[in-house]
Amino acid sequence: MTAGELKGREAVATCTLAAAHRRDHHHESGCCAPHITEVVHLGGKAAMVCHDCGTDSGFLEPRAADALAREHVEGTRAGTAA
At 62 the pLDDT is 94
Mean pLDDT of 49-71: 90
Q: Looking at per-residue confidence, does 14 or 71 come out higher?
A: 71
At 24 the pLDDT is 63
Instruction: Kindly report whether the peptide bond that precedes residue 62 is cis, defined as omega within 30 degrees of 0.
Output: no
The pTM for the full model equals 0.60
**How many CB atoms are located within 10 Å of the residue 75 CB?**
15
At 82 the pLDDT is 46
Is 31 a residue whose pLDDT tops 90? no
Cβ–Cβ < 8 Å for 21, 34: no
At 29 the pLDDT is 54
What phi, psi does 55 have (nearest 5°)?
A: -60, 135
Residue 40: which residues within 8 A CB-CB, separation 6 or more?
Answer: 46, 47, 48, 49
